[in-house]
């Protein structure tokens, strides 16, 4: 082998060594990322598996994607038995409550359920009758894709028995105090239900707006096929306008949760407009500017501008937060 070939051979060998070295580094990085992801998944799996409540994840078609082991403490059935059953209603739900349970689950999966809580009865494996309370909420990925609902079920049998005893108490201070606590709990529950409903509407409006913006961008693409697809998507979303909010319904709910709030606001500050009252109501419910923007079909910046304008109308000092003022009104 002459000197030139030796030199080329040596250079090729060195190049191969560098490639092998880079592959080793990439493999080590990938292995570290995999291990990190595995540990993260195991961490969240432990949290889900060892919750006290019975946790469920329903896919959009109603099938159960996840069932926590805590179900055994409440029902006597294992998570695998519940996942592979023909339905929770068939396996567990008390006959008299099956219709209401199935209706609640169907509406929750269809994202049309305003009341996020259901009380129902089950028959355990040993045929014991128990009262349960189920709370649900929608599950979405980072891109806003709907993945189903998350449900948390708690055994409230003792609470139901206690409430039965309360109903037998004579009228007096003890009864009044317990009744007040119960009403306060119901008020907080209604508040959370309304806020959850408004957030859902905001998310839907925001998703539709983002999709429409993307469609407009892709319409400028050169590919004929892409234009045809985007045209079809545009037509489909054009028929699905932003969710219309019945303000009278929201106003009635605000009045039930915070009696007299809107009247006190109008009386103390007669200069505010109907639009100002809506914004103040949303702030009073604890919604963020982003959520309010989705509900009112405006930008977050427009919401901030409106907040500044309302502050001036209410003559608030710079050290007073608008939300704090409305909470105390």
Q: With a threshold of 0.75, does the pTM exceed it?
A: no
What per-residue confidence (pLDDT) applies to 1?
Answer: 52
The burial of 295, by beta-carbon neighbours within 10 Å (0-12 exposed, 13-18 middle, 19 or more buried), is given as buried
Give the three-state DSSP class for 222: coil
Residue 119's pLDDT is what? 93
282 CB burial (10 A radius; 0-12, 13-18, 19+): buried
The residues with which 150 forms a beta bridge, in sequence order, are 57, 137
pLDDT tens for the chain, 329 residues long, are 556 666 667 777 777 777 767 777 777 766 666 666 555 555 555 556 667 789 999 999 999 988 988 899 999 999 899 999 989 999 999 999 999 999 999 999 998 877 789 999 999 999 899 999 999 999 888 788 899 999 999 999 888 887 765 555 555 555 566 666 655 655 555 555 555 555 556 556 665 666 666 566 666 666 666 666 566 566 555 544 544 556 776 777 777 777 888 889 899 999 999 888 888 888 887 778 887 887 777 788 888 999 999 999 998 888 888 988 988 88
Residue with tokens 């009696």: 259
* Tokens, residue 24: 């080793």
Count the Cβ atoms, other than its own, within 10 Å of residue 154: 16
pLDDT score at 151? 92
Q: How many helices (H) and strands (E) does the chain have?
A: 14, 5
β-partners of residue 139 are 148
Tokens 């949303």 — which residue?
A: 282
Cα diameter, the chain: 111
- pLDDT at 257 (0 to 100): 75
Instruction: Note the pLDDT of residue 155.
Output: 92
- The answer to whether 144 touches 223, Cβ cutoff 8 Å, is no
- Dihedral of alpha carbons 225, 229, 235, 237, sign: negative
Question: Distance (Å, rounded) from C-alpha 261 to C-alpha 263?
Answer: 6
Quickly name the fold that domain 54-168 has.
Beta-Lactamase (3.30.450)
Instruction: Give the pLDDT score at 291.
Output: 77
Q: CA 159, CA 202: separation in Å to the nearest integer?
A: 35
Domain definitions of the chain by residue range: 54-168, 198-328
């Amino acid at each position: 082998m002459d000197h030139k070939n030796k030199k080329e051979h040596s250079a090729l060998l060195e190049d191969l060594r560098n490639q092998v070295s880079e592959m080793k580094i990439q493999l080590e990085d990938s292995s570290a990322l995999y291990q990190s992801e595995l540990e993260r998944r195991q961490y969240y799996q432990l949290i889900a598996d060892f919750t006290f409540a019975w946790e469920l994840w329903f896919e959009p078609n109603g099938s159960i994607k996840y069932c926590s082991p805590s179900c055994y403490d409440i029902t006597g059935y294992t998570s695998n038995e519940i996942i592979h059953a023909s339905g929770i209603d068939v396996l567990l739900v008390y006959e008299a409550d099956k219709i209401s349970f199935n209706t609640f689950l169907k509406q929750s999966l269809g994202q049309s359920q305003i009341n996020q809580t259901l009380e129902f009865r089950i028959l355990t494996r040993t045929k014991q009758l128990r009262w349960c309370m189920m709370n649900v909420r929608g599950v979405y990925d980072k891109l806003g894709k709907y993945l189903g609902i998350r449900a948390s079920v708690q055994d409230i049998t003792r609470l139901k028995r206690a409430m039965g005893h309360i109903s037998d108490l004579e009228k007096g201070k003890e009864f009044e105090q317990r009744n007040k606590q119960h009403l306060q709990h119901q008020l907080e529950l209604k508040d959370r239900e309304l806020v959850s409903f408004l957030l859902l509407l905001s998310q839907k409006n925001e998703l539709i707006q983002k999709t429409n913006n993307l469609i407009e961008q892709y319409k400028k693409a050169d590919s004929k096929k892409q234009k045809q697809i985007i045209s079809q998507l545009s037509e489909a979303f054009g028929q699905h306008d932003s969710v219309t909010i019945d303000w009278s319904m929201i106003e009635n709910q605000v009045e039930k949760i915070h009696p007299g709030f809107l009247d006190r606001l109008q009386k103390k500050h007669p200069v505010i407009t109907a639009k100002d009252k809506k914004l103040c109501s949303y702030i009073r419910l604890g919604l963020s500017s982003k959520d309010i923007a989705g509900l009112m079909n405006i930008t977050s910046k427009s919401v901030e501008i409106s907040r500044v304008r309302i502050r001036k109308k209410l003559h608030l000092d710079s050290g007073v937060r608008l939300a704090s003022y409305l909470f105390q009104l």
